[in-house]
Amino acid sequence: MKSVFLVDHYNEADVKPAEMLNAYVQLAEKNVNDLFLRDTFVNCDCPGCGASDRAETFRRFNLDYVSCPRCHTLWVSPRPDDESIKRYYANSDAEIYWREKLSRETALARVERIVLPRVDWIIDSTQQYLPDADHFVDIGTHHDVYARCLSEIGRFSRKTLLNPICEINPGALAHSTNIVNEHISKAMPDNSVDAISMFEVLDRTSNIDGAMSHARRMLRPGGLIFITGILSTGFDIMTLWDQAQNIFPPDRLNVFSVEGLTMLMERHGFNVLEFSTPGMFDTEAVIHAVETNPKIQVPRFVSYMLENRGPEGRQRFQEFLQMNLLSSFGRVLAQRQ
């Protein structure tokens, strides 16, 4: 299995300015408590390995996160269904703020630092593993800037944006791109798609097995799926745990571990070709959390390392995390069997 190591020095504030991010999180907390009907919530087993055993961990926005003793995946249970989540992303103040304020004001940095590297990943990997690929589908894109860039990928003659959770102007897309708003179970014929991307989609999906089953059905045998998400086994998440600022519902309804996400792929008939954790902000996130809240207790080694090894030492440590699948941002490339 391939693992990629990336070096690209930039600050997280370039794509998520702290003041805007804090405003977004505050709105999300209010909206989660106001918009979701708790009497409709359902319990679920581990979205990674499927085990029914669980350990209680912490609450966030009055929802319970539990963890899997087998694969270390972290998830919310009981949880809202996907229709409720879809309405949340369409109508909540938090998402309107993200789309109209945070995303727009950081659009240039996001394109350069996040979107274009993912486009390159898709192009290069498709050329390597499936050079005759023709039809590309992105599922559930969160940002119109993603949609525009994905529509311009020249590698495919057909491109489909399936169920984007933001409004997209069709006139801003390349002419070979279609927008389809239909339930994933009915959206595409079986075996009709060559490559699928799901960027942070599994993080916010309630019915994980349903989503993966439908994605596999759409793909032709040998088709590729590109997945990104936040990992529970990353350094900053494992260190900060209930104090980790980027773990909250419904954006992080599921926080897979490396093992859990691998098991999910295998359970649904995929061979994992690449699993990488090219995250760049683990050490920065821990430093920021401790500086913001001195009451946070971190392990003695972590405190010593962050205080006494300086920027170069912290950067080398971040590189170590990447190389050993220990960063909290993960990307997976898998191929349908």
Domains of the chain: 12-336 (3.40.50.150)
pLDDT higher than threshold 80 for residue 312:
yes
Which pLDDT score, from 0 to 100, does residue 14 have? 82
CB 88 within 8 Å of CB 29: no
Residue 85 pLDDT? 95
Q: Give DSSP secondary structure letters for 275-335.
A: EE-----HHHHHHHHHHH-TT----HHHHHHHHHSHHHHHHHHHHHHHHTT-SSEEEEEEE
Give per-residue pLDDT as tens, 246-301: 999 999 999 999 999 999 999 999 999 999 999 999 999 999 999 999 899 999 99
What average pLDDT does the segment 139-150 reach? 88
Give the residue with greater pLDDT, 295 vs 143: 295
Mean pLDDT on 137-150 = 89
Does the pLDDT at position 9 exceed 70? no
Residue 209 above 90 pLDDT? yes
Give the closest residue to 135 by CA, choosing from 176, 82, 77. 176
pTM above 0.85, yes or no: yes
- Calculate mean pLDDT across residues 59-73: 97
Could you please report the per-residue DSSP string of 65-121?
Answer: EEE-TTT--EEESSB--HHHHHHHHHH-HHHHHIIIIIHHHTHHHHIIIIIHHHHHH
Largest CA distance in the chain: 57
Reported as a single tens digit per residue, the pLDDT across 318-333 is 999 999 999 999 999 9
